[in-house]
Amino acid sequence: MNLKSNLFLSVLVPVIFGCAGRTSTPAAAPTTAAATAEVAPLPLEDANLKGKRFHNITLEASLKPFKENSPAAIRRAAAEMFTQWHSLLRHADTVSVMLWTSDGSEILDYSGDLGQSLEWSKYIGNPNTEHAVNSGPKELSLHERAYLYLENPPQYTYKDLKFIIQTLKEMGKAITGKPIRIGATFDPGPEFAKSEFKYKKHPEILEGSAMGEKSFVFSYATLIADKTPYAGFPNGIPDNTPFGTFFGRQSQHFLKDLGYDYIWFSNGFGFGMEPWASTGVIFTGKGFNEEKLAETKEKIINFWSLFRKECPEFRIETRGTNLSTGIDLAKDGVDLQAIYGGGFNILPPPNSPWAALDGDFGLEMIGYMSRMAQLPDDRYIFRYYTHDPWWLNSPWLDRYGREPHDIYLPMAVARINEKGEMHLPTHLNFLTIDDSFGNMPTQVPDEVTPHILKARYDSPTSPGPVVWVYPFEEYHDWAKNKPQRLPEIYYGDWFIRQAINNGFPLNTVISTKYLAPAVKNKPGLFKESTLLAIVPEAGSEYEKALISHVKNGGKLIVFGPADYISPAFAELLNLHNASPIEGELQIVNHYMPDQVETGFPKKIRHQALFSGGGLRTKVKNTKDAHTTVQVTMKQGQQTRDAVWTRALPDWKGGKVAYVRGTNSSHFEGGRLLKPDDAKEYFIGPAYLRYVLKEFGMEYSVDKYAPTVKNPVLTIARNDNGFQFSGYVPNTSVQHRFKFPQGAPVLLGYDTRLRNGYATYSLPTAFHREVRVFVEQQDGIVSCKEMHSGELGISRRLAISGLKNATVRVYPTEETTDESIHFYLNTTYPWKEGKLGFEKGDPALGKHYVVKNVTGDVVVSW
């Protein structure tokens, strides 16, 4: 053991075990607090770290790891927490521990007496059912009956909890050398601990049906009178007290008295009535209650204001719902714009963890992107689901099967601000570091940490191939001033959800508000990207920006209804609206790059309720030589054009595609909209991926039947390279790629080229760099990493299997014409075989080209 290790342990051991001989009496204030505060870990060399630092990394944990109520045991558990994750915590400025102490009822019940007994989350399953804990027939599910996680779990008081919080701060500081924050949690549901307050004393605060009828606290509830003394209400709760007032005042006392630094609102609390469902107060599954929208929005904002009046300083971090900005607004009246702009000192909701449960990564991605498009500031969270301390699953080990797709997919996402700058998540959370039995197996941080760091190293530094221009401002304006457009608000995000679930590579977002200033600040920002947008508001600056973008060589896909289109934008698209049709439609022409052995359905179901209205769009001037119709749909004698492209000669290479977009989903009860049966109906959002072909970018999937699930794909641009990440729910599918640059060759892979396409069989989760594209009809081509072996060279790649090929290489941004070298059919020491090259077409970004090469090419820089 080296000197540094010996010194570190000599400092740390007394801190952890200094009270090992003490009995398990309720914890008092630590006698070693002063000594611990003086301990500082040896300084480490931050210059050795790679990648962009996180402002904060949060380790979420229940109290279950504290299996014994003694100071020594508490310190040991705390030390284990920070030690396990130490290699990752080095990459943060601040470290937080978010305690899932109970279900939030510890805040509601707090009397101000630290000697008060603490009801805590010592259960596996739901303890708030008609069946007593540890009772009932074995066949009852965990949702019907809970078990104790230990035979005799320790008892705790609020004073003990305060000691745990203080110990976590001291041990965390001693081990990491970083500031330590501790967060409290409030969950509106019945999942984590017994709650007399919610389910017996005050059921009037319950609505929603996320876990049974009237199972969740709704934020704008009103309390009935209660004579019980509480910390913020020593004389009891007066009748008709707003829940926001009571909860805010209780939180202020609780957080301050116990030494917390912030609070987390869980499972959609503060964001609507139904955090997990596609229906709510406004959308019923059959229509929209427009008349309830204004009142519901006001009630939600009123909760935030009331809470902040009572608890003004402690920062609020939020989980949000399982859905997205537009869906929440249209179905539950959640005005995210007002919440963000209210000065409430919050962090926005992160990505939902539910994709681990249902595989709906499209929904996870649209929720994440729609909420980050326009923020109160530049802070936002990426959250990863490692363990579940309540429901007897550890997603990394079981639900994900130790596959890292739910790391690489959302970590490929980035937002663009009004200056045109790429912004990555500033905060990283782990839900949770302990499992349902309170164990913290080192296997999980040991296996997860490398993937988190690799994803961070490879995060976007420039816009991806497709950029979603999210209508954050428009959606909120329509909800306020044009409620008849609620169906469009509801539709837009659902459509993109299903497009992503069908392989549409979308992982960059910018708000409509930021598009024009971003382009003004960085004129070439989107020269390698295709923008994705809805029909803009007539006469808006945003509309002018889109038109200018196309007419000056830009690429644009417009989707959704065009009922309110302006004459100028209708002229750009060559569009006019006929009368709406809906229901079953026949697909007239074949536009399906995917190859399916059993064939695709030739009909589609367009439901106006879920697709922003009926299908009305047609090409206006059918004789326009610069307009090409890809998809037409027919019902009886009526036809409508669903997909077309247009490119005029004087647009300097610019092109626009219009995809009307059928949201091939329906509501039949349950939580989410259900996709239509792919065996019977074609899935309309797939056309977004298909139409990328018109911009030279093809990604096709070959499979046995249309019911075989499509992969999810992201393509991030990092330091001039391409990072391909994906989730393949059915590994029997074959992938085909062809870009304007040629066939992408995944680093470390071999690809069989067929008719110029790179073909691959890919695993369930993949994350691979691409810096080489090859134009070649057939053969087997590979790209492999080589060692440098030469001063001044940082990277060397070998490309083999070439036959009269054109090879395009994308080196790092700082690479110059003088520092890149190509070699043909030679090897170390690279004195022979030097190959001439040329700079590539600037329209395709910074790259270098060698032509008509056969054999093996090595490139270095």
The label of the residue with tokens 């997919």 reads: 409
Q: Which of helix, strand or coil describes residue 536?
A: coil
Q: What is the pLDDT of residue 368?
A: 98
* Pairwise CA distance, residues 740 & 528, whole Å: 11
Within 600-708, strands assigned E span: 603-606, 615-619, 627-635, 638-646, 655-659, 665-666, 674-675, 698-703
Q: Which of the 8 DSSP states describes residue 373? A: S
CATH topology of domain 466-696: Rossmann fold (3.40.50)
Q: Checking DSSP bridges between strand 674-675 and strand 665-666, what pairing results, if any? A: antiparallel
CB distance 411 to 42 below 8 Å: no
Pairwise CA distance, residues 107 & 105, whole Å: 5
Decide: 265 and 199 in contact? Cβ < 8 Å. Answer: no
Q: What secondary structure does DSSP assign to 707-762, as a single string?
A: TSPPPEEEEEEETTEEEEEEE-SSTT-EEEEEBTTBEEE-TT-EEEEETTEEEE--
With a CB cutoff of 8 Å and minimum separation 6, the contacts of 144 are 125, 126, 129, 131, 136
Nearest C-alpha neighbor of 173 from the set 95, 253, 87: 95
Please give the Cα distance from 530 to 479 (Å, whole number).
28
Beta strands in 395-457 (DSSP E): 414-416, 422-423, 427-431
- Six-digit token string for 123: 């259960």
Q: Which residue has the tokens 């971090």?
A: 317
Provide the token pair at 822: 């190509």
**pLDDT at position 211:** 57
> Mind giving me the DSSP string for 266-316?
-TTTTS-S-TT-S--SSB-SS-B-GGGHHHHHHHHHHHHHHHHHHS-SSEE
- DSSP bridge partners of 283: 288
pTM: 0.94
Instruction: Tell me the H-state helices in 530-609.
Output: 541-551, 567-573
Counting every residue, how long is the chain? 861
Q: What is the pLDDT of residues 382-437, one digit of tens each?
A: 999 999 999 999 999 999 999 999 999 999 999 999 999 999 999 999 999 999 99
pLDDT, mean of each 10-residue run, the chain (861 residues)? 39 43 40 46 82 97 98 98 98 98 97 98 93 91 94 97 98 97 95 91 84 80 97 98 98 98 96 90 96 95 98 97 97 97 97 95 98 96 97 97 98 98 98 98 98 98 98 98 97 98 98 97 97 97 97 98 98 98 95 94 97 98 98 97 98 98 95 96 98 98 97 98 98 98 98 98 98 98 97 97 98 98 97 97 97 98 98
For helices 3-17 and 71-84, the axis angle rounded to 10 degrees is: 140
Question: Which pLDDT does position 7 carry in this prediction?
Answer: 36
| Alpha carbon distance 803, 799 (integer Å) | 11
Alpha carbons 768 and 722: distance in angstroms, whole number = 8
Residue-level pLDDT at 30? 43
Instruction: Please report the pLDDT score of residue 209 as a whole number.
Output: 62
Residue 656 CA to residue 547 CA, distance in Å, equals 10
Letter string b/e over residues 546-583, b meaning 16 or more CB atoms within 10 A of that residue's CB: bbebbeeebbbbbbbbbbebbeebbebbbbebeeebbe
Q: What share of the chain is helix, strand, coil (3-state, %, to 5)?
A: 30, 30, 45
